[in-house]
A and B are shown apart, each in its own frame.
Chain A
């Protein structure tokens, strides 16, 4: 009984070490200023002269997408009429075809492509679905409307059978046409939320994210309609989970320390990544990541930073390099005296994922990150953000985060 209580007291002792908010703000302002000088990544793939050719996509206007589709359709129509059947040459999105580029700090797609002929048992389905999706996207672009992936699936359930099939072909199509998925006018349903010192215009409406209650503003699936971002925040707080986001929003953390809080509720979707990227480029704010202390927390950070393998063809538009890992870091568990009962033993699967991550380029490039991950794999302990609630529900917003900011404790 004694030991845990002592531990709790020690943890609460941190509260006493907190300086007044003004002092903390001063430290934060310093780093915010240094971020102002941040120059968005100007280097592009073409500048690098990589040994292997890479495939990248760009944002295209509706008209250009239509033109691309029409070109493709005319070609296959001619091929069919010539009696040669048809097929598509689709860039491979398998992990063998991915490449991490150190200079860009993100994953890109190599140029390997596979030909999917219609008259082949293995590829006839995908080829048919691709043709149908091309037709549907053509219609969308012509009418200049947006639909969700779910809508798209329901336009021909009989052919698509399950949404996974139409979704994956949709990615193939954007790869094939060389445009981003948003250019196809197909969006994912909204998942991410944002709250805090941010004002922007969405499709003509002015949105003030400080007046969004505790739920926050849903991140619009269509980034094209977001304009004129303004903010007096000092940093962007990227939160892995809904629960922590709720806590911070309800405690109006952004009013105590001016910031923008954003979450994608787990694995980030395209819209959230685009929104974060846009904030970073437009507002030039430092991004601090608050994720669970487990391999998946790191994975999520990696997706924001270097992109996912599935969407690596579009990594240039989706990634936000230079995110600082604020917490909860494996070393924090002892530093902040997280009680034993709040730490969980890692499962075999966790440990395996952790060990695999140690081999990933994006971890290796930063010795500090590598060290932290090594600590995790060695202690075989993980903890969620919620573990901090063991000292009281508001410990996160009232002690842990201010302490972190005061100490500039991020890597």
Chain B
């Protein structure tokens, strides 16, 4: 695995510097990442818990998708109390002897203060209770959580994927950068660290090994392995490795890791992550459970499967000449099976035909020939090739290797998790940034359950949700600054707007160390995002307009009737005055008016007469306009919407078939 060592730059660097200064220690990749764990998303215990969950979930999805199996994934986070943790590592609980030694020791003064505060609090609560208000029991929460104590969690993730071959398990998990994701391919993983980083974190925070159960398809046994990692040597340290019976014919993997974390602060992030994952992956079934130390805080959320349509697995592709660097060219030459330069250029890159390869070689200079053996190229010659790759013009890569979620899945995902009033989706065409194809899909929803008024932005990169550093992201900037929502009849402040943008690419140009957002400075991506969102807006606009018309129609009668009393009172008021004037013979009116005023004076016409007559008139006008509206819009009140039917999960017995020109309906027999 020469290529890996080359890629693991940290180790190369330290090797190089070692020759100069022998005091410098060599650092293994595992060590490097353990010391720089923030770049892999392990900044603090809370984030570490979050990242552990996401790495495990993403691995599980990849695994199931790689064998075209609809994913079923179970995630469990189990809270472990201090004493339980101690017993797990075989440490006895010790009583504190010297109380003042501890950071959370309460001095006499602090204690008085706290008691006084608690007394006040109680008094307040008693008052509130007396007033009949509901009281939140805030004290109980405070006492339940130990002060200043590390919190431990056991995270388990079980999938129905490919599983790992028995003998490969230690290396797949116990060695950093020994992953399977090194081709050029649209992948979920950001660093190729995945579960291994979780293992390093568990080693750092709890020292407990991880447990793995795994079976490949058709395998008669389950491999069970308990291992931890030797960080200095970057090798797995296997505790147990055995085969167990597999009576149910299960395949997949289950990984269990015990780490330090913080559920309280990252609870919403983790649940959001699961929810957004369910949006972009509606063909998967997730079961998320949190098992708390006290059962009343347990959480169990099931994200059901809504479709059987799974996007095809992303295909591995070759590099585009404009996307390679010198190191990569060297690696490709080392790995290639092609003998000569012409074949190498033609077969190891996209967008280079045989004819084009010949032209390129001709351009490289006299010392290059099509038939020269590719492995004999000197370093200078490689630089020449690299330079030419930079300067020459190439056809753009096709997007065939990409696997977008698809409008169908995106729409389903949004509908199932948000239950919006309206939704629109759009898939853009493949575009290219620095030799890597990318594709932008967007969804736009209005209204829905648990959606805050204003813009709610959901970002996905290679079909995983991005939750952090939203502010600088190209999607956020585009949605907040460059879309004129008003022109689509959408109120940016009051409407519950869901903006979903999913970008897939063979290389997502992340910004920042945590790879949590895509910069706003890439023109190609920014304009693709903008146009995708706008396309959705245009789709929604016509629906909104039609809905508003329907709404206006419903409101018309109510709004008109609202003014009837005011008008009637005013008219009747003037008529009364006139009638009074007439009675006292001050004023003379013509005959018609005279007749009317007499009726007013005799109370034959009163205010309610006008109210009634106007009411009838409004009703009549309303009916006329409704009829007119219906003839215009073809009797449909709301916009037509496609419906998606869910396939049945298991076999049912059917009795009757009902035929009609559009479809056939089958009735269940066992109901």
Contact = CB atoms under 8 A, between A and B. Distances in A.
Q: Do these two chains really belong together in a complex? A: yes
The 5 closest A-B pairs by CB, nearest first: A119-B621, A85-B617, A135-B570, A128-B563, A131-B570
B660 to A, nearest CB: 41
Contacts of A80: 571, 610, 613-614, 617
* Chain A residues touching B, range: 20 to 34
B563 A83 contact: no
Contacts of A159: 566
A15 interface: no
B577 A128 contact: no
Contacts of B573: 135
Nearest to B619: A119
A70 B574 CA distance: 7
Nearest to A84: B617
A73 interface: yes
Interface in A88-145: 118-121, 124-125, 127-128, 131-132, 134-135, 138-139, 142
A159 B592 CA distance: 31
A80 B571 CA distance: 10
B614 A85 contact: yes
Interface in A152-187: 159
Contacts of A70: 574, 578, 589, 593
Contacts of B593: 70, 74
Given A74-B589, A119-B617, 14 more contacts: A69-B574, A70-B574, A74-B596, A83-B617, A85-B617, A119-B618, A120-B621, A121-B556, A121-B559, A127-B567, A131-B570, A132-B567, A142-B577, A159-B566
Nearest to B565: A128
B609 interface: yes
A73 B593 CA distance: 10
A139 to B, nearest CB: 7
A18 interface: no
Contacts of A139: 577
22 contacts: A69-B574, A70-B574, A70-B589, A76-B571, A77-B571, A77-B610, A80-B617, A81-B610, A83-B613, A83-B620, A118-B563, A120-B621, A124-B563, A127-B563, A128-B566, A131-B570, A132-B566, A132-B567, A135-B571, A135-B573, A135-B574, A139-B577
Contacts of A19: none
Residue among A74, A83, A159 facing the most chain B CB atoms (10 A cut-off): A74
A120 B556 CA distance: 8
Contact of A73 (B560, B571, B616): B571
Contacts of A132: 566-567, 570
Contacts of A83: 613, 616-617, 620
Nearest to A119: B621
Interface of A: 69-70, 73-74, 76-78, 80-81, 83-85, 118-121, 124-125, 127-128, 131-132, 134-135, 138-139, 142, 159
Interface in B582-623: 589, 592-593, 596, 605, 609-610, 613-614, 616-618, 620-622
B552 interface: yes
A134 B560 contact: no
B60 interface: no
* Chain B residues touching A, range: 20 to 34
Nearest to B597: A74
A175 B384 CA distance: 86
Contacts of B605: 81
Nearest to B568: A80
Q: Secondary structure at chain A's binding surface: helix, strand, loop or mixed? A: helix
Nearest to A125: B563
B575 interface: yes
A295 to B, nearest CB: 31
A375 to B, nearest CB: 41
Contacts of B618: 85, 119
B560 A124 contact: yes
Contacts of B552: 121
Contacts of A74: 575, 578, 589, 592-593, 596
A121 B557 CA distance: 9
Contacts of A73: 571, 574-575, 578
Interface in B88-123: none
Residue among B571, B610, B621 facing the most chain A CB atoms (10 A cut-off): B571
A267 B605 CA distance: 48
A135 B570 CA distance: 6
Contact of B560 (A76, A118, A142): A118
A74 B618 CA distance: 20
A77 B567 contact: no
Residue among B609, B613, B614, B622 facing the most chain A CB atoms (10 A cut-off): B613
Contacts of A134: 570, 574
Contacts of B566: 128, 131-132, 159
A121 B563 CA distance: 11
